[in-house]
Structures are given as structure tokens and as C-alpha cells.
Chain A
């Protein structure tokens, strides 16, 4: 099918260097980031995102400390990009407007402001600030599977009203089914004048499929990571997505071979724990849990001798949202004390 999807160029935002941080416990070396960025630029990726996995100022006990400072990563990648724009992620409540100022000074072009899907109004300060600084400004509605479409549209319209150039349906738990993706992306496309984006995780094995569905439903920007390098079972694997887009006649402007080389020769050899839909990653999508909880959960399970699947299911039952990594410890201790009773 080559309907409306073939007429417009889809913007591609790579997350290998941001979401991929989760998969490595935030331990990329600067040289590794630079090597990946070089390939992404060669492949004509539109936007390359660099930040701590949990956004600017994510360095913490709660989310993990990265190997290097954000400045070291961002400035090194900036120097490498000739074609691609540079993006950074910010979660209000973790980072502040001062971090957007710094990111801008380091050469960031795009700021992506992420909130839980029902809390768009906490992003007002940051979206307005991004616009004031002349940045390409994106609203990112995380854990989009947790709220009905009508409410998601209401939240997206708020982000648009603050000045967002694009608002994302963000499937942080990789929990959306294909019909749900079509409905949510389509509803935002219908209701908004600004661009609509889609970001997901491969926890139910729907990474590429749902991204194609999102494009068919009118998404203007889509996210992916090379070899899926991202939290949980990873993001939509970018090289696979681009191959499928080529076959379908969807215009992305990206080149396939540099992406494949990047996946096979650089990224996959870095993965200490394979980024794949294995049992624990599958449970994220199945239980609707924030994908970056995966490694934290596996560590807590080992430390306290409990089943990681039980932790994930309990986190889902409690309705934990992005950023509540501290509750993994809480749940693990609760399970441990129950089992010893």
C-alpha cells in the first residue's frame, strides 16, 4: 500500500545513544558514542538523541550514574554530526529549565520534554522555555497505554498549546497492541495541528509492526534504535524499520547499509546483556511496566533472592509510572519478607 504515507518524508529520531544507555547501565564510553554517531550521520538519520537514559540530570542513585558527564557525551557527538540534528531528553521533576539552557549552549537543536501520559501540564515551563530558546521542541507522553485515547488527546492538545512542534505517543512499556497504536496515533493526528510522533519498545515483539502502523496512521516522526539498543527488549530496531519502509515505499531518506554495519559491527558487540524479547523483557510489555525497570529489577531480584517476574507483575499491579525505580527495591523487599514468613 502506498497511500498517504508515501507522499511525505518521515522524520527519524534515533535513540541508540539515549534509550540505549539503559541497556548498558548508562556505561557507554565517549569513543563508543562517537563511533555510533558517525554511522548514524552517514546513514542520514534526521535527529540523534544523546542524554542519560532518564534524561538530562538523570545521574543518580535512583537511575544509575553514567560513565561520563552529559557534557562529555553531548559535545563529542555534536562534533561528529554533519547532517543530523542533535536532541536531548528532559523529564520535568528530574531536570529543569537550567538544563535546557546548558543543552542549548552545548549545541542541542531539539529538546524532548517527557511526562507521564496524564501529567502534560508539568511540562508547560519546559516546552515554553524550549520555544523561547528557538529549539525544536517536542512533547513526549510516556506510558501511553495507561490512559484512554480521549484523555491522551486532551493531554497532547495541552502540550501543543504550550508550543510543542511535535507530540509523541510514547509506548514506554512496549505494551500497545497494533489496533491501540493505530487508534492513539490516528486520534492525535486528527486532533492536532502540530506534528505527531511515535516511540516504542519491542517487549511484545511489535517494535517494527507498531511503528509501521503509526506511520500509516499519520505519524510525522518515529523513533528507533540501532539493533534495538534501548530499555527492556529495546526500541524499534532502526535498521529493520528502514528496510521495511524501503520495501513499502515509505520515504525516510535513510541509508540502510551504514545502519546495518552499525548494528552488526558496533552496537551488538557492546550488548553485555542481549537486548531481546526474553522472558523478563516480555513481562514488561505483558504487565505494562516502564521498560527501563528491567535491569534494576534483575539486580534487585538477584540481591534479595526473589523472582524478577514477580517484581514486575507487582509493579504493574501497583500502577508505578516512569521514574519510580525506587519502588523496585520496595517491592523486592516486600516479596522477600513475605517469602520468609
Chain B
């Protein structure tokens, strides 16, 4: 069976990491890596691997002979650029996996809702922080009603390219919304931290899920199962230690300003995401979890 042809828009950290992973795909074949800077590290890497490239952006791709064979395009540019790309690609009848926080199409997190949107022309991969943390929120919401979920994603400064940096609000907003829409929390909040330490720190994520009272053993088991399933496509994804529970009862309820006091249980989950080291070194688990999830989605869309 011949592989399905795909293209990647964006030759930055994410696009290049995805290119490396596509080399191993049994379903998809990369027809072109699309950049806007001929001297970019990603395009150099592509040429060395014998992958066709253009540095003329989406126009360069659409004018190339390979474009008619391309069925699926991964967009790893920026939220701002994606708006234009989405319109052109939809006009040309191409499926799109959007890896920017533009979020024009439905949010997808593989272990939670991969099957739901397999017919959508444009799916959005949320953010790296969302891919790492939403499975945990979802796991708790399978057991108990979740009133509020909050995530803190800390990534190494070196793994945050100019696109991420210029669009940090989009990261915060998109992740918060997806915690609600995919994770099942009534209210979601996302915090992102860039840490410049040298040597760079491995991606860390902390998830606080406040739910109605439930059997904590059931919550623990649901979280552990989901973490295992994420680790199937991101081998470096793991719990740093067992989930921690804190009870909020009538004597000591959760007090959030502007809201009535609430009883329930807080589940705190500490995660670490070590990358496969395809493009950036292993500290950049944030790249890995995003590109691995996008690849999984792409393979499903064409199957």
C-alpha cells in the first residue's frame, strides 16, 4: 500500500520535529517542508534528508507539482498565519491538522476525543501544554464532575520558538478553553512558564483538578490508565509521583473570590514529559507531545 502524501507548513521547532517523526510513519509520507527562510535550520535538515522544500511559504507549496498529490497539511506556523493558510487549503480541498493555537477547527487530544472529529476538514491540536495536561483532566472527569481544572506548564526557554513567544496569549486562552471543551471541566485555567535554566529543564506540568467528592482510588486508577495511554505515543510522558488528594469539606471549603464556597476534592498530578530527541534534545518534551499527537491524528484522518 502506498503512503499518503502530506506537507508541513513551518520549518521551526515543531515543523522540523514532525518531519523527523514522519520519516518513521508507515502511513504518511512527507512531500514537502515549507518555510519562509531559506537558511533556516529546519529547511537545511530537510534538504539533508532528501525532503523537498520551499522557502516561499504556502504559495511555494501550492505552485509546486507535488501539491495535487498532497492530501493532508500540517500547519506548524503561527495562529496569525494559520487563518490565511486554512482558507487557501480548504479551497484546495486539503485536510488540515492545525498545530498553532488559532483553533479554527475543533480541539483534538488523542486519548480523549480522537474519533469524534475524524471527518472534520480542519482539526486543532490545542497546545503542547494542553496535550500534556488535558488527558489528566479528562481522566478525572470520567469518574467525577469537574468544576475547575488548572494547569501549570513549564517549558525550557530554548524549546519556545519565536512563534510561541509572540503568541503567548493565544497559548493561554486556547489551553484554557480546551481544558473545558475536551477535558470536561466547567472552568479551565492555564498558566505557562518559560524557564531559561542551563542545562535546559525537562518539560514539567502540574494539573489541579477540583471535582465533586468521589472515590479517590477510582480517580487515581483513571489517571494512571490515561497516563499509560499517552505514554504509548509519547514514551517520555510519566507521572513524577502518585496523584495527591486534598479534601475540601464544609468546615474548610474551597473559597474562590466571587463564588460560593464549594466542597469537593482536589487531585494534584505532577507530570514530566521527556522528548524523544528527534529535533531538539530530550528536554523539549513539549515539542514531542505536540508532534506525536498531530502525527497520530494525521494517520487517523487518512485511514
Contact = CB atoms under 8 A, between A and B. Distances in A.
A62 interface: yes
Contacts of B169: 92, 96-98, 125-126
B197 A326 contact: no
B195 A65 contact: no
Given A69-B258, A333-B241, A324 B154 contact: yes
A318 B191 contact: no
B240 A330 contact: yes
Interface residues of B, number: 38
Contacts of A333: 241, 244, 270
B48 interface: no
Contact of B150 (A61, A96, A122, A125): A61
Interface in A307-326: 318-321, 323-324, 326
A112 interface: no
B270 A318 contact: no
B195 A122 contact: no
A93 B255 contact: no
Contacts of B120: none
A93 B193 contact: yes
Contacts of B172: 93-94, 96
Given A93-B191, A119-B194, A330 B270 contact: yes
Interface residues of A, number: 39
Contact of B191 (A62, A68, A146): A62
A70 B150 CA distance: 19
Interface stretch (B26-34, B200-208, B215-223): B200-208
Most buried by A among B189, B240, B257, B268: B257
Given A69-B257, A96-B172, A319-B201, A125 B196 contact: no
B152 interface: yes
B150 A116 contact: no
B270 A326 contact: yes
Interface in A191-239: none
A67 B196 contact: no
A118 B244 CA distance: 33
A93 B194 contact: yes
A66 B256 CA distance: 7
B266 A61 contact: yes
Most buried by B among A61, A121, A337: A61
Contacts of A320: 195
Contact of A121 (B150, B152, B165, B198): B165
A112 B204 CA distance: 27
A62 B157 contact: no
A94 B191 contact: yes
A124 interface: yes
Nearest to A333: B241
13 contacts: A59-B256, A60-B191, A61-B268, A67-B255, A94-B191, A96-B173, A97-B169, A118-B196, A125-B166, A146-B196, A319-B195, A321-B197, A323-B193
Q: Which 9 A-B pairs have the closest CB atoms?
A: A319-B197, A326-B206, A61-B208, A96-B169, A93-B192, A69-B258, A118-B196, A69-B257, A323-B193
Given A68-B258, A320-B195, 6 more contacts: A62-B191, A65-B255, A93-B168, A116-B195, A118-B157, A333-B270
Interface of B: 150, 152, 154, 157, 162, 165-169, 171-173, 189, 191-198, 201, 204, 206, 208, 210, 240-241, 244, 254-258, 266, 268, 270
